[in-house]
Structure 1
Amino acid sequence: MEPLTVDVVHFYPRENAQTHNTVKYEVVNDENPTTTIVRRGQPFNGVVRFTRPFNEENDMVQLLFTLGDNPRMDTQGSIFIRRDVVTDKHSWSAKLLVVQEDTVSFEVSTPVSVPVGSWAVRVVTRLKSSTAREIYDFDQDLYILFNPWNPDDQTYMEDCSLLQEYLLNDVGKVWVGPIKTTRGKPWFYGQFDAVVLPACMFMLDRAGMPFHQRGDPVKVTRVISRIVNSNDDDGVLVGRWDGQYADGTAPSDWIGSVDILAQYLETQEPVPYGQCWVFAGVVTTVCRALGIPSRVVSNLVSAHDANSSLTVDKYYTENMEEMDFDPNNPVGADSIWNYHVWNDVWMARPDLPAAIDATPQETSAGMYQCGPAPLEAIKQGVVGVAHDVEFMLASVNADLMRWRRDPTAEAGYSVVDTNNFHIGRMILTKKPYVFDPLGDEDREDITAQYKHREGTASERLALMNGVRYSERAKRYYAVVSNLTNDIVFNLRDIDNVYIGEEFRIIVDIQNNSNEARHIKASLSATSVFYNGVKSDIVKKVEGKIVVGPNKNEQISISVKAEEYLPKLVEYCNMKISAMAIVDETKQSWADDDDFQVLKPNIHVKFNEDLIIGQPATAELSFANPLNQPLTQCEFRLTSSGIAGRTLKAPTGDAEPKGLITAQIPVVPNKTGQINLIAIFISAELKDINGAATVEVFEG
């Protein structure tokens, strides 16, 4: 008798997907699916058919699972299909279920710590009485992913209902914009798209991640934070923040991760261009695709501490002119971003969740990677814990310090003031289970997970705890003295400014002394990129004012639309700055504030019920807010619930102050609620978007 010859091996892609929470992956829903996606530490079923009947007494069937080209102990599983199997969460096994002549059904169990990836399967058959073997190589994809539903998996999420949001939801929101006008920008994660898992495998390979480490979510998320930016290993996205994107895609033109990952996989070249929320959107797609719960987190007024002082330092000349460099740090100046976006990921350690950041800001262990930094360590200021807690602590809780050149001071500079409340004003994410296409009902404030309430003893203790570990930070905090000043300045907040309207910068001055004070003051408005880099001065006024004893005065300037419109840069962020110095006492003061010039949203509507498989028309519209035409106009609409995923509709030029509309034919391919995300692109206006949630019915 000859060894068995394999005719067919089948791993029931659809049926296994039901029990493994992988049913949303597009490839398992193909008409004849050839890709199986299962989760580790949980049994899955298979069947093998031979060219002759299976004889349990004489035939031996071995399954060999391997990951990578050079499998070793922890990247392979070699198991015989047997009836007498005792399953064990740390071992591979294959249990014989049913024999029907030439067909054998079996159940495979995998170790709960097995590396994730695309596993190869080989079937080896022989007779018990002989060493002659037959070998059959399975030619389809079998993905084994992390399993956050399994209490023994390192990615386990105790509140499994949250996995509906942090693992299975393929649409989300990213909060962008300055503190007063921040808004949720819809983002299509699309982690179940057919292109995503192959792209994830390519990313881990390109990062050179050893296969045997791919079962450890701490190591995997750290590698993801590195490979989503292109700085070290030709990773996914090229970061750019200067507004010059003609040779690629402007960051504001992306509405989801799938097109980025598809382009990366196809070209195998870094994709131009990304900014922090684009990096974070791609990170969440990759994490959720691999089975790691993840969310996007926005820190409003975020510090980039370039010299590990746990302070953000601004320097001024003796006359209170702001200096655009840091005289104490030749590498680069600290900066304050209007907002910065990173990710939280979950893994079963005492300190979950943890933060990772794929935006390339500072190197960690010689590479542009950041995290995972446990939120609890950031909150308590425990900077000795891996990874990058100190950098994240500064991002959310550094003190803002202003320094003025002072020849009489030992360090050459004296402190103008310190602001303990400015950095990390609010930390936001999307609320689970809610999607508000038109407003912010789905916004969740998670500041308390990152820091104690500002001004409390606990918050000061956490920051000083971090300072204690840093020699440089100790030196900075040592020079801060209690400053007593008899003039009180207040830069007023600017409320909503819609594009095309004028605004006014106002400073209130209160003299609490019994003598008149002569004050030299300067007010300015500057267009800025969201990472704090200045673009153009829109208007600047300097002057002198006398404030009588115990009197109040006000200085102000107005800025008209025609003054700022030509100088606006992407996202329409403006910085207003005010500086003053008192002649008699040499008291100095400076303050600034950021706001965003607001733009209209796109309205998305359907005039008919949506039926699966039947064409319908999406109507998109918005009003041009400018007194000039818009050119090179295009609407884009994306959703995992429509055929074609991303649809484009170029339109003619938009009249000044006119309504611009487009009709896009769509064919729904899923029933139930689907979310649609729209953007509008033109040469003159960027970052116009909208969203809608609609119901699709059975035919």
Structure 2
Amino acid sequence: MATLRVTGSDLQISTNRVEHHTNSYQSKDLIVRRGYPFSANVTFNQSVTNEDQMQFYARLVTEDKGASLLENPFVNSSKTPINGWGVLREATVSNSVRLTFYTPSNAVIGRYSLELDINGERTNVGAFILLFNCWASDDIVYLSDEAQRQEYLLSEFGIIFMGEPSNPQHVPWDYGQFQDNILDICLSLMDSTINYRRNPSEDVRRRNDPSYLCRVLSAIVNDRDDGGVIQGNWSEDYSGGTDPKAWTGSARILRSWYPQKSPVKYGQCWVFAGVLCTVSRALGLPCRIITNFSSAHDTNNNLIIETYYKVTGEPSDRGGDSIWNFHCWNESWFRRSDLDAKYSGWQIWDSTPQEKSDGMFQLGPTSQFAIKEGDVDKKYDTSFLYAEVNADVLVFIEQNDGSITKGSTDTVSIGPLICTKAVGMNSMNNVTQEYKHREGTPEERQVYSKARSLTSGAVGFVALSSAGETATAPNSDPVVSGKIIINGTPTVGDDINATLFLKNLTLANKNVTANVNASAIVYNKRVRRTVFSDSVAVQLGPNEEKPVALQILYSQYENSLTTDKMIQVCSVCQVEGWGELYVEANITLQNPPMEIKALGPAVLGTPLQLEVTFTNPLSMPVADCVLTAEGSGVTHVIHKSIGVLEPAQTISVTIDTMPYMSGTKQLLIIFTADKFHMIKNFTTIEIAEG
């Protein structure tokens, strides 16, 4: 009798992918989720008998295609296997055998070769990619709510919040996790980490654990240690690369990195978060982007941010801590196998390179619950994350003679708003109370004290800097209070009007000298240039409050404005006989509006035109005008040069697209010019089947 051999196989890719929620991937591969069965037909040159010894294997395939690092035999079974590698022979018709394959819900994710050993001879039957499975209750990434699965795993569109907590900007982002070749690149990322290069076998065996993968992927998405995906740049000089605000999605960045694996220039926090979210969702791990406004960067593990200002109101270079106007990171949903059950749920991870952890620029995963309860001794990097959302702020004033005096202590300004995109809507979901107890409550102060006690004496802990330790403190509680209010919502091109309110808190007259400074800043509060300064003498009667009008002209900030469009207004108020009071306000200037509308119904595979309308609101011409369009399922990147817009001129530009995926999709538009930087908008398009 002839030797039994395989003559063909049918992995039933279309059917399996629908059942595994992977039919959106623009790929011809069999993509399945662990813990769910998939079916296949294998055809032989002759009938299969009971005497034929057949053993199927799943062999993990890594990018370097070296020796097998992991191989799992499918146990032959006559009944449904329970959470293990198994194969069930369903039926035999002539020379064809119908099979059902089972994978465990804790299997290593990645690309596998499906192989069959017949009487000692091994044959490749096909290949499949195995992902995490948030539909399987036994998988530690299980997410019970279907609407959240749709949002945090299957949606290719997101909104990232930037600017100020009082008026957050909604910035669209195209994740594109299902676009052609993106999943392949994400698998390649896992084979590019330092951990894989140091110990491939150990690394591969740990790829079943989202805690492990979050940590190593947070490192590889930045380029600081391992030639990762994105090179960060906060200098405002983006020569030799792309302005971080010019990116509209992750796919172009990942394709620029692969296959040469050279870092892509440049990114900032929302770019790192956007790409990491794409990688997470592509691999089957539910993920969302979080924005923390007034985000602290604590460099000495004491949960205190020291800020220094000159007596003139200018920010001082002294001190290593900082407060960013906002910072973006990622959260993924899974059970923590390395911590108590209460620490499961949303886990924070961050690829923006800030501080080293275990010798590398990586962060997380950090339990959101641990942050809220001040359990900063839990893995990983919890004290750093806690400080980002709830550190106290100490203000110090640098006198003209170089001496330092202590100003105010602020316990509420860090993390006033922590938010993410709402499920199924293009609005904001405020998650501040998921991170901390309400400011001003006894619970919040108790948790802060607990966290401080746990960090005291820990690695890197410094109680205060030497300057802070020796600063002279006022001899009484504050006798004057102050605040700066921005009038209205200024747009680029407007004069900025603000009011400094000073209030006497005593029954005695008070003389105050208010030194005001306004600077154009980057979103991490690095000063680019001073645009306004003034000094005003104010006399306050008992319990009197007085307003001081401030105005910053467009001509003063026009040529100094950073791409973040932020102005920081600071005032050091010298109170005669007491000391200094510090107040500040931050302004993110709004962009003028841009409208987008479809010029007809959207149908799969049918040309669709969209019209973009913009008016130049300035009294001067605007040059170098360019439109960029991008949107997964709608169109790949389109650039259109417009030239010059005269004052008050309105333009309408037509964008030609060819939708290539049905369903709810978004088209993102960026308008950029010499006077306006990265005006962004999007429109939602319902694409019907052809």
Both proteins in one fold, TM over 0.5: yes
In the alignment, which residue of structure 2 is the partner of 1:518? 511
- CA deviations 1:370-399 (Å, max 9, x no partner) are 111101110111110001111111111111
**Alignment partner of 1:492: what SS?**
strand
Tell me the alpha carbon deviations over residues 440-477 of structure 1, each in whole angstroms, 9 at most, x when there is no partner: xx211010100111111111111111111223466689
Give the aligned residue type for 1:186.
P
Between the aligned partners of 1:348 and 1:680, the Cα distance in structure 2 is 42
Does residue 300 of structure 1 match 2:256? Answer: no
SS of the aligned residue for 1:367 comes to coil
User: Given that residues 378 and 389 in structure 1 are in contact (C-alpha distance below 8 angstroms), is that contact kept between their aligned partners in structure 2?
Assistant: yes
2:413 maps to 422
* 1:614 equivalent in alignment to 2:606: yes
Name the counterpart of 1:438.
Answer: none
Q: Does 1:155 align with 2:141?
A: yes
Task: Say if 1:195 and 1:258, in contact at 8 Å, map to a contact too.
Answer: no
Deviation digits for residues 609-641 of structure 1 (CA, Å, limit 9, x no counterpart): 223222121111212233333333221222222
Does residue 424 of structure 2 align to residue 433 of structure 1?
A: yes
**Which of the numbers 155, 165, 171 marks the counterpart of 1:169?**
155
The alpha carbon displacement at 1:696 in A equals 2.7
Alpha carbons 1:230, 1:237 under 8 Å: kept: yes
Which of 616, 633, 646 is 2:625 aligned to? 633
Gaps of at least 5 residues in structure 1 are: 28-32, 127-132, 328-332, 436-441
**What is the rounded CA distance, in whole Å, between the counterparts of 2:588 and 2:399 in structure 1?**
35
Structure 1 Cα separation of the partners of residues 661 and 674 of structure 2: 35
The structural deviation recorded for 1:309 is 1.7
In 2 relative to 1, CA 482–581 (structure 1 residues): closer, same or farther, beyond 3 Å?
A: closer
Say if 2:302 is the partner of 1:315.
no
- Check the 8 A contact 1:302/1:340 in 2, yes or no: yes
Deviation at 1:292, TM superposition (A): 0.5
Q: Could you tell me which of 549, 569, 574 is aligned with 1:576?
A: 569
Residue 83 of structure 1 and its aligned partner are, at CA, apart by 5.3
Residue pairs, 1:29-48, within 5 angstroms: 33=28, 35-48=29-42
2:331 is the alignment partner of 1:344: yes
Would the aligned equivalents of 1:61 and 1:123 in 2 still touch at CA under 8 Å? yes
Aligned counterpart, 2:166: 180
Gaps of 5+ in 2: 197-202
* Contact 2:153-2:286 at 8 Å conserved across structures: yes
1:84 is matched with which residue? 78
Could you say if the C-alpha distance between residues 513 and 77 of structure 1 is closer, same or farther in structure 2, counting changes exceeding 3 Å? closer
Question: C-alpha root-mean-square deviation of aligned residues, in Å?
Answer: 2.4
- Which residue of 1 is the match for residue 681 of structure 2? 690
Give me the whole-angstrom Cα distance separating, in 1, the residues matched to 2:283 and 2:554: 48
Q: Deviations over 1:461-508 (max 9, x none)?
A: 111111112234666899999951322323224431112111233222
The answer on whether the counterparts of 1:315 and 1:323 sit within 8 Å (CA) in structure 2 is yes
After TM superposition, give the deviation of residue 114 of structure 1 in Å: 1.1
Matched, 1:200 2:186: yes
Aligned pairs for 1:375-454 (under 5 A) are 375-404=368-397, 413-435=404-426, 442-454=427-439
> Which residue matches 1:4?
4
The separation in 2 between residues aligned to 1:482 and 1:518, in whole angstroms, is: 17
Post-superposition offset of 1:665:
1.1
Establish whether residue 49 from structure 1 lines up as the match of residue 43 from structure 2: yes
Letter paired with 1:592: E
Q: How does 1:233-632 map to 2 (within 5 A)?
A: 233-316=226-309, 319=311, 322=314, 324-326=316-318, 333-349=320-336, 350=341, 351=343, 352-404=345-397, 413-435=404-426, 442-471=427-456, 472=461, 483-583=476-576, 585-632=577-624
Give, as a single letter, the amino acid of the residue that structure 2 aligns with 1:461. Q
Are 1:136 and 2:123 matched, yes or no? Answer: yes
Matched to 1:534, the amino acid is V
Question: For the residues of structure 1 that align with 2:400 and 2:500, how far apart are their CA atoms?
Answer: 29
Contact persistence 2:227–2:262 (CA under 8 A) = yes
C-alpha spacing 1:266/1:659, structure 2 compared with 1 (3 Å): farther
SS of match in other structure, 1:590: strand
Taking the aligned partners of 1:400 and 1:575, their CA distance within structure 2 comes to: 17
Verify: 1:660 aligned to 2:651, yes or no: yes
Match of 2:177 among 188, 191, 196: 191
Measured against aligned partners, the alpha-carbon deviations of 1:40-72 in whole angstroms (never above 9, x if no partner) come to: 11111112112x222222222222211144445
How far apart in 1 are the matches of 2:293 and 2:504? 33
Matched-pair contact (CA < 8 Å) for 2:475–2:578: no
**SS where residue 652 of structure 1 aligns?**
strand
Deviation at 1:518, TM superposition (A): 3.1
Cα pair distance change 1:404/1:537, threshold 3 Å = closer
Question: What residue identity is the alignment partner of 2:596?
Answer: V
- 1:340 Cα deviation from its structure 2 partner: 0.6
Return closer, same or farther for 1:637/1:358 CA change in 2, 3 Å cut-off. same
> For the structure 1 residues 674 and 275, does the alpha-carbon distance in structure 2 shift closer, same or farther, using more than 3 Å as the test?
same
Counterpart in the other structure of 1:129:
none
**How far did residue 119 of structure 1 move?**
1.0
In the TM superposition, residue 182 of structure 1 has moved relative to its aligned partner by 1.1
In structure 1, what residue type is equivalent to 2:680? N
The offset of 1:539, in angstroms, is 0.9
Residue of structure 1 in register with 2:15 after alignment: 15
Counterpart of 1:154 in 2: which secondary structure? coil
Change (3 A) 1:58 1:343: same
Q: Distance between the aligned counterparts of 2:212 and 2:432, measured in 1?
A: 26
Secondary structure in 2 matching 1:202: helix
Distance 1:419 1:12, change over 3 A: same
Query: Quick one: distance in 2 between partners of 1:627 and 1:309?
Result: 50
CA displacement at 1:552 relative to structure 2: 3.8
Q: Distance in 2 between matches of 1:263 and 1:627?
A: 39
Moved more, 301-310 or 619-628: 619-628
C-alpha distance in 2 between matches for 1:252 and 1:39: 35
Amino acid at match of 2:438: R
Partner SS, residue 567 of structure 1: coil
**8 A Cα contact 1:507 1:556, kept in partner:** yes
Aligned-residue offset at 1:179? 1.7
Q: Amino acid of the residue matched to residue 187 of structure 1?
A: W
Q: Determine if the alignment matches structure 1 residue 93 to structure 2 residue 86.
A: yes
Q: Secondary structure at the match of 2:245?
A: helix
Which amino acid in the other structure matches residue 421 of structure 2?
A: K
Letter matched to residue 115 of structure 1: V
Question: Given the two structures, how large is their TM-score scaled by the length of structure 2?
Answer: 0.92
1:413–1:380 distance in 2 versus 1, CA, 3 Å: farther
Change (3 A) 1:463 1:413: farther
Q: Cα gap change, 1:61/1:633 in structure 2, threshold over 3 Å: closer, same or farther?
A: farther
Separation of aligned partners in 1, 2:619 and 2:305: 40
Report the CA distance shift for 1:475/1:279 in structure 2 as closer, same or farther (over 3 A).
closer
For 2:4 and 2:451, how far apart are their aligned partners in 1?
66
User: Which range moves more in the overlay, 621-630 or 592-601?
Assistant: 621-630
Match of 1:109 among 96, 102, 106: 102
What's the offset of the Cα at 1:216?
0.4
Relative distance call for 1:513 and 1:669 in structure 2 (3 A) is: closer
CA contact (8 A) 1:602 1:678 kept: no
Q: Residue type of the partner of 1:371? A: G
TM-aligned CA deviation for residue 234 of structure 1? 0.8
2:359 counterpart SS class:
coil
TM-score (norm 1): 0.90
- Distance in structure 2 (CA, Å) of the matches to 1:106 and 1:450: 48
CA distance in 1 between counterparts of 2:312 and 2:624 reads 44
